[in-house]
Amino acid sequence: MLNCYLKGQQEHERPEFIPYAHLRIRTKQKVTVEVLDHLEHLALVDFRDSEGVERLQKAIQFADQLHEVNTDGVEPMDSVLEDRCLYLREDDVTEGNCTEELLKNAREKVEEYFVAPPGNIPLPKLEERETFLKGS
Amino acid sequence: LCLWGHPYLNSIFLLFFFFFSLTPWVPVVGLEIHAQISSNSKLFSGSQVQFAAPPNSLVSFFDASLPGTLPVLNRRCVEAAVMTGLALNCSINKKSLFDRKHYFYADLPAGYQITQQRVPIAVNGSLSYSLCIDNKMSQMVTKTVRIKQIQLEQDSGKSLHDDVRSQTLVDLNRAGVGLMEVVMEPDMCCGEEAAAAVRELQLILQTLGSSQAVMAEGQLRVDANVSVHHPGEPYGVRTEVKNINSIRFLAKAVDYEIERQIEELESGGTILNETRAFDSKLGCTVPMRDKEGKQDYRFMPEPNLPPLILYNARSLPANMNHQQVVNIDWIHERLPDLPSVKRAKLVEQYGILPEHSFTLLNEAGLTEFFEDVIKQTQMKPKKVIGWILNDLLSYLKQHSLTVKESPVSSFLLADLLNRLEKKEISSTAAKQVFAELWKGEGKTPLEIVKEKKLQLIQDQEDLERICQAVIDGQENEVIICQCRKDGVLALPHLLGRTRSSLPGSLV
């Protein structure tokens, strides 16, 4: 949220995802409405308008360039830091007891409990939602 | 059931129907068990692990998922998982990885749980457990269930549902506590087997100290996966049963679900791949609400944690800081005797039956009590065990007491058994004394014996005189006197009115 606000303040040139011309990128078919709807349910993200979907499409295209690298016989890597030592902590109590501070973040609280809605409120189905995806 | 008009075809159809429903069903039961690790602090943060503390008082900034916080792995949790893996005959993965499992729920503040989905810490083990055939405790059979894997993962917080005000209250004290998820292969076939396997796992965890595994406090949670199929056919659709709060309910829930699935299939229905909750009051499983369709957890590697590397004696690097090393061999050498080994040792050392040692280990503190009595008495263990299992244990069960709460201490029981061994009292008298001791009034066996005049009369002449008086007084009755080899007279057919006229010593 903070990021969006700050970005809105300054006029940056929007980066564009341009694939390398000499590479023949194998790109999937246009991202379908079903996939977008599924993603909106899973991540509770709202693509908002066709420009949002376009950016997603271009980002996938950009990432597809990775397929051009020959990885035969190479162990997959999760992160460049994966050969670092995983630090092990001693089993001592060093934190906690800050109920008041934590509850300051809560919009609603009841006797030191956080208050949440009664259960997950699932995103309504595509047909029932106000989303531009319906038009696609 | 569609019936044609033709009577001949009708009966053929009915025959087929009955034949099909008489074909045996093979139930398949697999378990996923979450055991809370017994540690001072949480898996990835330094907040305390404690049951029943003021809400949100044991929560750090990381547990509350505030931005800018990072997970730091607790070494004790790693050791607990390695111990458990070794005790369950698993291969320990020297390199295991952490992943994020994403789903939204109010008690999961980060929106994901850190777990080990790709490469868990331990795989391919087995658990052996014993079952009594026919509830008789006289014939025990050993079964084995394969352990697919053990993984380290975070616990979520607790949700308290307030239906009146239509809201959920969230307490994050439990969020981030270390769990070992033990995944069992579907090798079991009924509630009894599932219950016995979980009981044995519970005893193993308690012996190791890696988890206190008290189901009532949520330290051991079991989800059951149940399906049925006909022999020779592929496995049926399975349902997952949650909300099982005790080992007894586990057996009930599994058996109910098997029955429900069989009935559903036999009446032509289908089984949905769904999650059901066990309702202990009604004794049945019900579909869980809040079902949002098939969950997609979008697993991804946890970017803030490099792989967990474990060492053994061979691979241990020379200059490493001890505090940063988990040595599998070191842990293996220090494993305590597992329940199965303890049982075998008891049988060998004391000459008791396997069923006896099973009961001894099944009751917290009973083995120690038994061994304390043995140390303080001359009575043979084979006789002592009878007193422990038939008398002490049944009294404890009747009054719902634990061994720790027993009003009869091992010292008092040993004293009583010594007097019985020295033939100062008969065994019937001993039972009476035991009943008195149970009242916990602080009297010693000797005091009770004197008070109730239960001491056996050792003098032969005295006994003959009393016998004669009884016989003289009963002209028409036949009294059988039996002289025991050691000279103590027993009168098994003393009549009621005679008994009341004699001191209790003759009983």
- Distance from chain centroid for Cα B353: 20
Tell whether B17 is covered by a domain: no
- What values do phi and psi take at A20, rounded to 5? -65, 130
Tally the C-alpha atoms within 13 A of residue A100's C-alpha that lie toward its C-beta: 0
- Distance from chain centroid for Cα B287: 27
* A103–B307 C-beta distance less than 8 A: no
Burial class from Cβ neighbours inside 10 Å (0-12, 13-18, 19+) for residue B297 reads middle
CB atoms within 10 A of CB B366: 20
Tell whether B387 is covered by a domain: yes
Instruction: Return the SS3 of A119.
Output: coil
**CB < 8 Å to B299, chain A:** none
| pLDDT, position B18 | 57
Distance CA B416, CA B425 (A): 9
Let me know whether B32 and B108 are in one domain: yes
The amino acid that residue B235 corresponds to is Y
In a mutational test of the B interface, the residue from A41, A101, A105, A114 whose CB has the highest number of chain B CBs within 10 Å is: A114
Let me know whether B99 and B48 are in one domain: yes
Residue ranges in B169-274 assigned as alpha helix (H)? 191-208, 247-266
Q: Closest Cα partner for B369 from B351, B391, B348? A: B391
| pLDDT, position B392 | 92
Nearest CA in chain B to A111: B55
Which range has the worst mean pLDDT, A66-70, A87-91, B29-33, B347-351?
A66-70
CB distance B220 to B34 below 8 Å: yes
| pLDDT, position A135 | 61
Tokens of B11: 């009966």
Let me know whether B420 and B468 are in one domain: no
The amino acid that residue B351 corresponds to is G
- Chain B: nearest CA to A108, how far in angstroms? 10
In a mutational test of the B interface, the residue from A103, A113, A121 whose CB has the highest number of chain B CBs within 10 Å is: A113
The amino acid that residue A106 corresponds to is A
Tell whether B266 is covered by a domain: yes
CB of A34 within 8 Å of a chain B CB? The answer is no
Termini Cα distance of chain A: 27
For B241, the enclosing helix (H) or strand (E) is strand B239-244
The Cα angle at residue B346 between residues B341 and B351, in degrees rounded to 5: 135
Nearest CA in chain B to A44: B104
Nearest CA in chain B to A94: B46
The whole-chain average pLDDT of chain B stands at 87
Q: Are strands B489-490 and B140-154 parallel, antiparallel or unpaired?
A: unpaired
The amino acid that residue B133 corresponds to is I
**CB < 8 Å to B99, chain A:** none
* A78–B73 C-beta distance less than 8 A: no
**CB < 8 Å to B69, chain A:** none
Let me know whether B474 and B343 are in one domain: no
* B56–A99 C-beta distance less than 8 A: yes
For the question of an ipTM over 0.95, the answer is: no
Predicted confidence (pLDDT) per residue in B122-136, tens digit? 999 999 999 887 666
Distance CA B445, CA B248 (A): 38
In a mutational test of the A interface, the residue from B162, B169, B308 whose CB has the highest number of chain A CBs within 10 Å is: B169
Burial class from Cβ neighbours inside 10 Å (0-12, 13-18, 19+) for residue B359 reads middle
Helix and strand element counts for chain A (H, E) = 4, 3
Predicted confidence (pLDDT) per residue in B77-119, tens digit? 999 999 999 999 999 999 999 999 999 899 999 999 999 999 9
DSSP state for residue A105 in the 8-state scheme: T
For B222, the enclosing helix (H) or strand (E) is strand B220-229
Is the pLDDT at B348 greater than 90? The verdict is yes
- Distance from chain centroid for Cα A97: 32
Q: Which residue in the block uniquely carries the two structure tokens 């032509």?
A: B268
| pLDDT, position B493 | 46
CB atoms within 10 A of CB B391: 18
* A114–B306 C-beta distance less than 8 A: no
Tell whether B362 is covered by a domain: yes
Going by pLDDT thresholds of 50, 70 and 90, the confidence category of residue A50 is confident
- What values do phi and psi take at B33, rounded to 5? -115, 130
Helix, strand, coil share (%) of chain A residues, nearest 5: 35, 5, 55
**CB < 8 Å to B39, chain A:** 91
Inter-chain contacts counted by CB atoms under 8 A, chains A and B: 141
Instruction: Return the SS3 of B83.
Output: helix
Let me know whether B223 and B168 are in one domain: yes
In a mutational test of the B interface, the residue from A83, A89, A110 whose CB has the highest number of chain B CBs within 10 Å is: A89
Domain end call among B274, B301, B328: B301
The angle that helices B191-208 and B247-266 make with each other, rounded to 10 degrees, is 150
Which range has the worst mean pLDDT, A10-19, A87-96, B303-312?
A10-19
Domain that holds residue B396: 339-452
Nearest to B169 among A94, A110, A120 (CB): A110
| pLDDT, position B507 | 40
Nearest CA in chain B to A84: B306
Nearest to A95 among B60, B75, B296 (CB): B60
CB of A95 within 8 Å of a chain B CB? The answer is yes
The amino acid that residue B319 corresponds to is N
- What values do phi and psi take at B247, rounded to 5? -65, -35
**CB < 8 Å to A81, chain B:** 306
* B306–A99 C-beta distance less than 8 A: no
CB of A85 within 8 Å of a chain B CB? The answer is yes
CB distance B155 to B36 below 8 Å: yes
Distance CA B110, CA B100 (A): 10
Nearest to B74 among A91, A116, A120 (CB): A91
Nearest CA in chain A to B54: A112
Let me know whether B408 and B475 are in one domain: no
For A61, the enclosing helix (H) or strand (E) is helix A50-63
Predicted confidence (pLDDT) per residue in B411-427, tens digit? 999 999 998 888 888 88
CB distance B172 to B45 below 8 Å: no
> Percentage of residues in chain B with pLDDT exceeding 90?
67
CB atoms within 10 A of CB B183: 17
Q: Are strands B140-154 and B122-132 parallel, antiparallel or unpaired?
A: antiparallel
- Chain A: nearest CA to B78, how far in angstroms? 9
The amino acid that residue A92 corresponds to is D
Distance CA B466, CA B461 (A): 9
The amino acid that residue B479 corresponds to is I
Let me know whether B59 and B193 are in one domain: yes
- Chain A: nearest CA to B349, how far in angstroms? 38
Number of folded domains that form chain B? 3
| pLDDT, position B21 | 54
Q: Closest Cα partner for B184 from B228, B150, B141? A: B150
Is the pLDDT at B482 greater than 50? The verdict is no
Let me know whether B385 and B239 are in one domain: no
Which range has the worst mean pLDDT, B45-54, B337-346, B474-483?
B474-483
Let me know whether B357 and B494 are in one domain: no
* B324–A87 C-beta distance less than 8 A: yes
Let me know whether B382 and B426 are in one domain: yes
Nearest to B47 among A88, A96, A113 (CB): A96
Let me know whether B355 and B403 are in one domain: yes
Domain end call among B301, B328, B347: B301
Residues 6+ apart with CB under 8 A from B148: B123, B124, B183, B184, B185
Tell whether B237 is covered by a domain: yes
Tell whether B10 is covered by a domain: no
DSSP track, B139-175: -EEEEEEEEEEEEEEEPP-EEEEETTTTEEEEEGGGT
* A91–B39 C-beta distance less than 8 A: yes
Q: Closest Cα partner for B486 from B456, B449, B454? A: B456
Nearest to B167 among A81, A89, A117 (CB): A117
CB distance B140 to B29 below 8 Å: no
Which range has the worst mean pLDDT, B260-269, B340-349, B428-437?
B428-437
- Chain A: nearest CA to B117, how far in angstroms? 14
Which range has the worst mean pLDDT, B175-189, B331-345, B427-441?
B427-441
**CB < 8 Å to A116, chain B:** 106, 159, 167-170
Nearest to B106 among A38, A85, A116 (CB): A116
Going by pLDDT thresholds of 50, 70 and 90, the confidence category of residue A76 is confident
Instruction: Kindly report the pTM of this predicted structure.
Output: 0.82
Let me know whether B480 and B403 are in one domain: no
In a mutational test of the A interface, the residue from B41, B47, B56 whose CB has the highest number of chain A CBs within 10 Å is: B56
CB distance B449 to B455 below 8 Å: yes
Distance CA B490, CA B458 (A): 11
Which range has the worst mean pLDDT, A128-132, B1-5, B371-375?
B1-5
CB atoms within 10 A of CB B323: 10
Tell whether B323 is covered by a domain: no
Tell whether B397 is covered by a domain: yes
| pLDDT, position A34 | 82
| pLDDT, position B252 | 95
Tokens of B97: 């990885």
In a mutational test of the A interface, the residue from B37, B38, B41 whose CB has the highest number of chain A CBs within 10 Å is: B41
Distance CA B336, CA B330 (A): 13
